[in-house]
Chains A and B, each alone.
Chain A
């Protein structure tokens, strides 16, 4: 069935370091791909999305490119800040409109 496999954490980086969080997916058809973020004490919120192959989603300095050939949607940011500390979830929306999540990666950025 459709699923998402996400890099396990936790990830600890110093401020201004480069971030990559890996995400790969298995799906029939052409899913849409999302990154959600959960800041401490807050609910899940959308960070970025991509709806078809080679699309790049971007927001708040984060980027992810929908790679059909490698079935991946890795999250990247060139220079992380302390305020980026959160849990990041990769998610897949199927053609039938169902929505599945990865297990999450906790990022801690230290000054």
Chain B
């Protein structure tokens, strides 16, 4: 596609439920990033993929958070047993693998846990 696409744009879920957030990167971009942005804060790094593998998952806050990218394109961020503190905008970005290239961001998914 023309840009990074994230779905859904908004998600409201009840505390304790499971949610999946999807990211469709720019075609040909092998690097994919997930961030979490709370109100008034900068993007907090969660996980970074090179191709199908997680090159760095040190930002995942706990084992309730998991992300996959099975075919090296679309990625899904999965959150189990959601808590109210998980409420934030989840951002996805993609970039070319090599070099100091910019990352292109999607519009984000606003997750609200009630």
Contact = CB atoms under 8 A, between A and B. Distances in A.
A4 B96 CA distance: 22
Interface residues of A, number: 21
Contacts of A100: 45
Contact of A97 (B42, B48, B91): B48
B90 interface: no
B55 A101 contact: no
Interface string A49-68: 10100000000000000000
B76 interface: no
A26 B31 CA distance: 22
B43 A43 contact: no
Interface residues of B, number: 26
B102 A98 contact: no
A74 interface: no
Interface of B: 31, 33, 35, 40-45, 48, 50, 55-56, 91, 93, 95, 97-98, 100, 102-108
15 contacts: A32-B100, A43-B91, A44-B105, A46-B103, A96-B55, A97-B97, A97-B98, A98-B45, A98-B55, A99-B33, A99-B48, A99-B93, A99-B95, A100-B45, A104-B42
